[in-house]
Amino acid sequence: MRWLAVVLVALVAALQYPMWLGKGGWLQVRELDRQLTAQRDANDRLKARNDALDADVRDLKTGFDAIEERARAELGMIRQDEVFFQVQRPPASARTPTPDTDASRSMPIRP
């Protein structure tokens, strides 16, 4: 009778092995689920970036406001009827800290 119990325990262990440790087992499914979640998160971040780039492209194709904004910000361009003033910051030793103002800001002024 003892040998029958040992055989049944060995049979149950042989049947349980693929479920826990074999190919497609519980541990591998758990790891693949973790990888799937990480890939979905990465895809969501890339989709948000692509949507922002798509909006930029649509703005640049349809209107002049986005083109003008980029020309001013990235290329430092101004319109023909504007006068450009640039305020220089005093040296660090002569400067008094003023958190409310930014003396290095440059902006065109229309006459």
Are 77 and 62 in contact by the 8 Å Cβ rule? The answer is: no
In a domain, 41, yes or no: yes
Rounded Cα–Cα distance for residues 48 and 42 (Å):
10
| Maximum mean pLDDT: which of 28-32, 41-45, 82-86, 106-110 | 41-45
The predicted pLDDT at position 107 comes to: 60
Q: How far apart (Å, rounded) are the C-alpha atoms in residues 92 and 104?
A: 13
Confidence band of 64 (pLDDT split at 50, 70, 90) = confident
- Asked whether residue 4 is domain-assigned, the answer is yes
Domain that holds residue 18: 1-45
- Report yes or no on 71 lying in a domain: no
d(CA 40, CA 87): 48
As for how many domains the chain has, the answer is 1
- Residue 61 resides in a domain: no
The predicted structure's pLDDT at residue 75: 87
Token reading at 53? 């780039």
Token pair in block for residue 64: 């002049």
Does 6 reside within a domain? yes
Q: Which residues contact 60 (CB under 8 A, 6 or more apart)?
A: 66, 67, 70
Please indicate, yes or no, if residue 88 is contained in any of the structural domains: no
Residue 101: is its pLDDT beyond 70? Answer: no
22 lies in some domain? yes
- Does 10 reside within a domain? yes
